[in-house]
């Protein structure tokens, strides 16, 4: 017997100047999506911080980590898988543009890092060193590819 296809919400939230505002908007959208029956909600690249001229102020662990914890709690409370874009931090001080998948228990399923950066992105982010695709045995996420990175 085949499983029914999950309902997937594709979010296009308003971008704000602060991660706190972006997370509040994302939680509101995820809550609405859950009320409409979605089991998965996909947010855009850098949805946690936004991608704007103040990203240098927002893309720091002291801001990103609490924002990520709020999204993990949201996933758990709504029993929904979330896909969120966020900066991740290298041990050498570099910042990567990444995409994280959070399961319905609020746990990280997988993170992929963007390698195929545009010239403007490369002025702030370092190229990802990990894989740009992932596979899991979880029904929420069987495969993910960062399309711009194919061939990089």
112 closest CA partner among 139, 137, 149, 71:
149
DSSP output for 16-59: -SSHHHHHHHHHHHHHHHHHTT-SEEEPPTTTTT-SSTTHHHH-
Question: Which tops the pLDDT comparison, 97 or 129?
Answer: 97
Q: Are strands 141-145 and 133-138 parallel, antiparallel or unpaired?
A: antiparallel
pLDDT of residue 124 exceeding 60, the answer is yes
Instruction: State how far the Cα of 131 lies from the Cα of 128, in Å rounded to an integer.
Output: 8
**For 62-105, how does the pLDDT look when each residue is reduced to its tens digit (9 = 90+)?**
999 999 999 999 999 999 999 999 999 999 999 999 999 999 99
Domains of the chain: 8-149 (3.60.110.10)
The pLDDT score that the predictor gives to residue 3 is 73
**For 17-51, how does the pLDDT look when each residue is reduced to its tens digit (9 = 90+)?**
999 999 999 999 999 999 999 999 999 999 999 99
Question: Which tops the pLDDT comparison, 2 or 73?
Answer: 73
The pLDDT score that the predictor gives to residue 98 is 93
Helices 19-35 and 61-78: crossing angle in degrees, nearest 10, is 10
The pLDDT score that the predictor gives to residue 128 is 83
């Amino acid at each position: 017997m085949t499983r029914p296809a999950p309902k997937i919400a594709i979010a296009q939230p308003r971008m704000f100047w602060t991660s706190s505002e972006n997370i509040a908007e994302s939680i509101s959208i995820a809550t609405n999506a859950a009320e409409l029956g979605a089991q998965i909600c996909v947010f855009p690249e850098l949805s946690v911080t936004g991608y704007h001229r103040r990203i240098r102020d927002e893309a720091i662990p002291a801001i990103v980590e609490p924002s990520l914890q709020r999204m993990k709690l949201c996933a758990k409370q709504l029993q929904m898988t979330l896909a969120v874009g966020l900066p991740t931090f290298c041990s050498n001080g570099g910042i990567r543009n990444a995409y994280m998948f959070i399961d319905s228990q609020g746990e990280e399923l997988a993170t992929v890092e963007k390698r195929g950066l545009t010239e403007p992105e490369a002025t702030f982010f370092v190229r990802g060193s990990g894989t740009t695709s992932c596979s899991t045995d979880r029904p929420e996420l069987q495969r993910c590819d960062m399309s711009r990175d194919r061939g990089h």
